[in-house]
Structure 1
Amino acid sequence: MSLYEILLVAYLIVALMLIGFVLIQQGKGAEAGASFGAGGSNTVFGSSGSGNFMTRTTAILATLFFLISLIIGSITAGSSEQEGEFQNIDVPVDVPVVPVNDSDVPVSDSSETTDVPAADPE
């Protein structure tokens, strides 16, 4: 695996962890939810609560996210991709010329005459 692929995998993992940590943090109005059982979750991370742990972890993950995105951006900025056929539209494309029939009615080579009139005279 190249460095680029390793960074992409790390970028994905950090992004998912960052999303998870942001979603499980309590908001400013979390005190109203204490009566429904949300108040007991602060004791899981110790007596100081989850504020310091969650805030520090989110800040570290956000910093890693931005650093990895800058590194990936600088790696891809120096690489050039081969142009596709639709990217370079300055060069005209050779289109084969197909003869066009002016009429949609098939034309036969025989000159047979029929007794059927072309239209009913009414």
Structure 2
Amino acid sequence: MNTLFNLVIVVQVLSALAIIGLVLLQHGKGADMGAAFGSGASGSLFGATGSSNFMSKSTAVAAAIFFSATLGLSTMATQRGAANTGGGVMQNVNTPAPAPVKGSAAIPSAAPQAPAEAPAASVPAAAAPAAAAPASSAPGAQIPK
């Protein structure tokens, strides 16, 4: 089953590259200079060359192969997912057990413990910010009345 899955992926990628190449190689229907002024609008729905030429038929075939490969891949993925019950992207993740706390035989609780009492701030007086200077000593602080 895995080989078939890989084969369908290769077919899908090749058909996608073929679509890209064929679309880039095709000449647009209204790419002439006269089409800019409205002369291209007088043609029929499919243009003068008929309903399709080799390039557009090849693009349609490549698109049909691409969509059928996509449908096949989605069907295979659905069948592959049915074998894995309880599906989800995280079903196979192994979570490690929490490490025991050193020096304590108690089981750690789920709620975080409050930190021990914070030490008092022992800031020396010299390092404390200076108090605001009195208004009389600041330049321009006194306004004459």
TM-score by length of 2: 0.48
Q: Relative contact order, CA 8 A, sep 6+: which one is greater?
A: 1
Give the Cα–Cα distance (whole angstroms) in 1 for the partners of residues 92 and 5 of structure 2: 27
Matches within 5 A, 1:1-122: 2-32=3-33, 52-80=53-81, 81=84, 82-83=87-88, 84=90, 96-97=108-109, 99-105=113-119, 120=125
Which one has the bigger helix percentage?
1
TM-score by length of 1: 0.55
| Offset at residue 53 of structure 1 (A) | 0.9
- Give unmatched runs, 5+ long, in structure 1: 34-47, 88-93, 107-116
Q: Which has the larger radius of gyration?
A: 2
Counterpart code for 1:52: N
Percentage of identical aligned residues: 27
Runs ≥4 residues deviating over 2 A: 30-33, 94-100, 102-106, 117-120
Give the Cα–Cα distance (whole angstroms) in 1 for the partners of residues 92 and 3 of structure 2: 29
- Give unmatched runs, 5+ long, in structure 2: 35-48, 99-107, 126-130, 132-145
The number of aligned residues is 89
What is the root-mean-square deviation in Å for CA atoms of aligned residues?
3.6
